[in-house]
């Protein structure tokens, strides 16, 4: 392991969430405070959602640990409860109560007796269920029923549901109106910004007893923040892999090279990383590429001659095309533009729309030299030949 090489007391980026290492960033402290206030007051159900790898589990463990002065903290780390009886068994096991193979009603009564029999100095149970987006509707309804347990008007079960974004859709199901209407606090974890990602990395290193400047260069920290795109799980994995490669190469502090090597290996895993050269900062407005100047003139044969790059010294017109000719010129310029100061002049034959006038106002026919006129002449010659043959 690399801890001794970088003079760390323990691994700063463990795979298993450690509630003591929770890093507060942005408005996370405010959101968790609202959830904690709801749970301690017993005013309703608290819900915490977020994308995969955003830190929901570590937040759940931290609240379960920190709110246990007057509550008994229970954290069910899995949402794999297909039937209410499986939920009841998990609660009894967490409370240290034995259970046997009983029917649903017997297990329900056993859970109620265990909660009602809590010591007097405890106000109730803080029941946190992680991965709650996997719970079936009957299990969610059973959880709602547990919140009905009270003692002299004091609710004995404070429920915290955490899960991915699908949990919000699941709770909005009309079949769960009774549960959804009891939600009094809801928080949603967002991806970290680039600055928050860098603060997350340095805070974790300090928590492990190390000096961030002696462990990672500024360039390495910035690269980690860019490619991990605000995901704490990706930050933990790639930072840990980079430190391992750095220790093998005896590199202290680690540089961009170790991060890039670790990123190459991590591409094989089902984790999402940005490209190192990708700009993931604030979106900046990009101007359209300069358009070459275009000249259009109508020829005697009724066609339009378009010259691209006729005069490159004129500034491009960025206004919206006002006429059909301008629109054609814009399309030709956009597809045939060049970064050079001058381009070769190219002529295009473009059929202009005929004026909307009566037949009597049309000009007499004129010879044409364009493609379509040649086709018409060829068709006329064929027709004349057929006529002469018929006459013969």
What's the confidence (pLDDT) of residue 293?
52
| 81 and 179, same domain (yes or no) | yes
Which pLDDT band holds residue 55 (cuts at 50, 70, 90)? very high
DSSP 254: B
- Point out the domain boundary residue: 143, 165, 188: 188
Segment holding 84, helix H or strand E:
helix 84-94
Both tokens of 283, joined, read: 């979106």
Distance CA 111, CA 117 (A): 10
| 137 and 43, same domain (yes or no) | yes
What's the confidence (pLDDT) of residue 283?
38
| 162 and 181, same domain (yes or no) | yes
| 251 and 133, same domain (yes or no) | no
What's the confidence (pLDDT) of residue 153?
85
Closest CA to 161 of 60, 293, 296: 60
Of residues 380 and 169, more confidence is placed in 169
| 40 and 169, same domain (yes or no) | yes
Q: What is this structure's pTM?
A: 0.68
What's the confidence (pLDDT) of residue 280?
40
Q: Averaged over 189-205, what is the pLDDT?
A: 95
What's the confidence (pLDDT) of residue 389?
52
What's the confidence (pLDDT) of residue 267?
86
Both tokens of 28, joined, read: 């996370």
- Point out the domain boundary residue: 206, 234, 266: 266
pLDDT at residue 250 tops 50: yes
Residue 281 lies in a domain: no
| 50 and 145, same domain (yes or no) | yes
Distance CA 76, CA 61 (A): 10
**How confident is the prediction for the chain on average, in pLDDT?**
80
Output the domain CATH number for residue 166. 3.40.50.300
Distance CA 303, CA 299 (A): 6
3-state secondary structure of 75: strand
Number of domains in the chain: 3
pLDDT per residue as tens digits for the range 307-358: 555 444 454 454 555 554 555 555 545 555 444 444 444 444 444 445 554 4
| 93 and 174, same domain (yes or no) | yes
What's the confidence (pLDDT) of residue 1?
75
Both tokens of 188, joined, read: 């949603």
| 330 and 310, same domain (yes or no) | yes
Residue 296 lies in a domain: yes
Distance CA 388, CA 390 (A): 5
pLDDT per residue as tens digits for the range 61-102: 999 999 988 899 999 988 789 899 999 999 999 999 988 777
What's the confidence (pLDDT) of residue 59?
95
Report the chain's C-alpha Rg in angstroms: 36
| 160 and 218, same domain (yes or no) | no
Residue 99 lies in a domain: yes
């Amino acid at each position: 392991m690399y801890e001794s090489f970088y003079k760390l007391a323990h691994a700063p980026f463990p795979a298993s969430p450690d509630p003591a290492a929770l890093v507060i960033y942005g408005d996370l402290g405010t959101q968790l405070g609202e959830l904690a206030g709801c749970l301690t007051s017993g005013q309703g159900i608290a819900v915490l959602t977020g994308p995969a790898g955003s830190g929901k589990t570590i937040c759940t463990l931290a609240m379960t640990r920190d709110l246990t002065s007057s509550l008994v903290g229970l954290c069910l780390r899995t949402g794999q409860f297909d039937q209410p009886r499986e939920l009841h068994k998990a609660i009894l096991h967490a409370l240290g109560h034995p259970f046997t193979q009983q029917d649903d009603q017997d297990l329900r009564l056993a859970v109620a007796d265990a909660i009602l029999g809590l010591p007097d100095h405890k106000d109730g149970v803080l029941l946190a269920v992680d991965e709650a987006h996997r719970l079936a509707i009957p299990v969610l309804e059973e959880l709602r029923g547990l919140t009905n347990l009270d003692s002299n008007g004091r609710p004995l079960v404070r429920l915290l549901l955490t899960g991915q974004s699908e949990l919000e859709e699941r709770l909005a199901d009309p079949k769960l109106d009774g549960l959804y209407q009891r939600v009094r606090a809801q928080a949603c974890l967002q991806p970290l910004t680039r600055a928050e990602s860098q603060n997350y990395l340095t805070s974790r290193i300090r928590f492990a007893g190390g000096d961030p400047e002696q462990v990672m260069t500024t360039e390495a920290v910035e690269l980690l923040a860019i490619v991990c795109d605000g995901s704490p799980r990706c930050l933990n994995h790639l930072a840990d892999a980079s430190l391992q490669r750095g220790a093998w190469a005896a590199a202290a502090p680690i540089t961009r090279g170790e991060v890039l090597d670790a990123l190459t290996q991590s591409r094989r895993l089902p984790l999402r990383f940005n490209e190192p050269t990708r700009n993931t900062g604030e979106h900046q407005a990009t101007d359209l590429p300069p358009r070459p100047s275009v000249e259009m003139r109508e020829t005697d044969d009724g066609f339009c001659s378009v010259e691209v790059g006729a005069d490159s010294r004129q500034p491009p017109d960025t206004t919206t095309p006002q006429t059909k000719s301008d629109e054609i010129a814009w399309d030709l310029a956009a597809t045939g533009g060049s970064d050079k100061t001058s381009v070769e002049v190219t002529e295009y034959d473009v059929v202009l729309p005929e004026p909307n006038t009566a037949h009597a106002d049309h000009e007499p026919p004129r010879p044409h030299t364009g493609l379509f006129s040649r086709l018409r002449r060829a068709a006329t010659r064929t027709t004349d030949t057929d006529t002469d043959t018929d006459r013969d």
